[in-house]
Structure 1
Amino acid sequence: MRTQKSHRLFSDKLLMATEALGCRTLAELVGRVRTMDASTPITLDRAYKWAQGRATPRDGKAYHDLAQLLDLGEDGAFVRSCSLEHFKERLSRRYPRWRADDGAGRLSSVARPDPAVAAWPTLTTERYATYSLSWAAGRGGQVVRGSSRIATAPGFTRPRIDYVEDTAEGRLTFAGDLRISRNLLMVNFDAAEADVLLSMVLLVSSTPSPAFGGLVIGQSIQPGEARPVCGRLLMVAMDDTVTDPERRNGYHEVGSGSLADDLAGIGYGEADCDAVARSIVGYLKSPSRSDGHLSIAPQAIDEIALPLALSVARPTTRIF
Structure 2
Amino acid sequence: MAQHIAQKLRLTSALLGTVTRKELAAAFRAVNPRTAFDLGRADKWLQGRAQPREQSVYDDWAKVLRLDQPGAWIAESDLPSFAAAIAARHGIGVAELERRAHAQSAASPGHDDRGIGLALAGTYAWYTSAWSPYYRGQLIRGRLAIEAGPGAHAFTAMYRETMPNGQLQLLSGPVTPTKRSLYLHLKEVGGEGQSFLCLFPHTQPVSVLGGYMVGTAIFAPEAQPSLTRILLVRLRAPAAEQWGGPLPPGISIAADLASLGIVMEHPEAIDRQLGQFLSADSDGGVNQIPPSEFRAILDVFDRHWLQHGG
Q: For residue 302 of structure 1, what is the aligned residue in structure 2?
A: 295
Between the two proteins, the alignment pairs up a number of residues equal to 209
Distance 2:95 2:160 in 1: 36
Shift of 1:124: 5.2
**Aligned CA distance change for structure 1 residues 223 and 248 (closer, same or farther; 3 Å):** closer
Task: Map 1:138-217 to 2 at 5 A.
Answer: 138-154=134-150, 157-169=153-165, 170-217=167-214
State how 1:1-320 maps to structure 2 within 5 Å. 110=96, 113-114=99-100, 115=102, 116=105, 120=116, 123=119, 125-154=121-150, 157-169=153-165, 170-221=167-218, 223-239=220-236, 242=237, 244-253=239-248, 256-290=250-284, 292-314=285-307
Work out whether residues 217 and 229 of structure 1, in 8 Å CA contact, stay in contact via their aligned partners in 2: yes
CA displacement, residues 147-186 of structure 1 (integer Å, 9 cap, x when unaligned): 0000012565220000012232432110001123323122
Tell me which amino acid in the other structure corresponds to 2:186. Answer: F
8 Å Cα contact 1:144/1:250 also seen in 2:
yes
Q: Is the CA contact 1:211–1:301 (under 8 Å) kept in the aligned structure 2?
A: no
Which stretches in structure 2 are left out of the alignment for 5+ residues? 1-90, 106-112
SS of alignment partner, residue 277 of structure 2: helix
**CA 1:113 to 1:261, structure 2 compared with 1: closer, same or farther past 3 Å?**
same
Seen in structure 2, the aligned counterparts of structure 1 residues 234 and 121 have a Cα distance that, compared at 3 Å, is: farther
Alignment check: 8 A CA contact 1:130 1:235 kept = yes
- Structure-1 separation of matches of 2:300 and 2:191: 40
Q: Which residue of 2 aligns with 1:10?
A: none
CA deviation vs aligned residue, 1:167-218 (integer Å, no higher than 9, x gap): 3243211000112332312222221242322221121323323111111111
Q: TM-score, normalised by structure 2?
A: 0.58
SS in 1 for 2:299: helix
The 3-state SS of whatever aligns with 1:313 is helix
Structure 1 runs not aligned, ≥5 long: 1-104
Amino acid at match of 2:289: I
Deviations 1:71-100 (A, max 9, x none): xxxxxxxxxxxxxxxxxxxxxxxxxxxxxx
Supply the RMSD in Å over aligned alpha carbons.
Answer: 3.0
Distance 1:148 1:230 in 2: 18
Question: Deviation per CA, 1:243-293, whole angstroms, max 9, x where unpaired?
Answer: 534442111146x23422221133321422332132212111111122x22
Separation (CA, whole Å) in 2 of partners of 1:165 and 1:180? 24
Instruction: Decide whether aligned partners of structure 1 residues 108 and 210 sit closer, same or farther in structure 2, where only a CA change above 3 A counts.
Output: closer
Q: Distance in 1 between matches of 2:195 and 2:302?
A: 29
* Gap change, CA 1:155 and 1:274, over 3 Å in 2: farther
Cα deviation per residue 1:7-31 (whole Å; 9 max; x = unaligned)?
A: xxxxxxxxxxxxxxxxxxxxxxxxx
CA distance in 2, matches of 1:132, 1:252: 10
CA deviation string 1:213-234 (max 9, x = no partner): 1111111246541111011111
Identical pairs, percent? 21
CA distance 1:277–1:122, change in 2 (3 Å): farther
Bigger relative contact order, structure 1 or 2, given CA contacts below 8 A and separation 6+?
A: 1
User: Given the two structures, how large is their TM-score scaled by the length of structure 1?
Assistant: 0.57
Residues 177, 201 of structure 2: 8 Å contact kept: no
TM-superposition CA deviations, 1:14-51 (whole Å, max 9, x none) = xxxxxxxxxxxxxxxxxxxxxxxxxxxxxxxxxxxxxx
Q: Is the 8 A contact 1:121 1:204 kept in 2?
A: no
The code of the aligned residue for 1:160 comes to T
Tell me which stretches of 4 or more aligned residues in structure 1 moved more than 6 Å: none
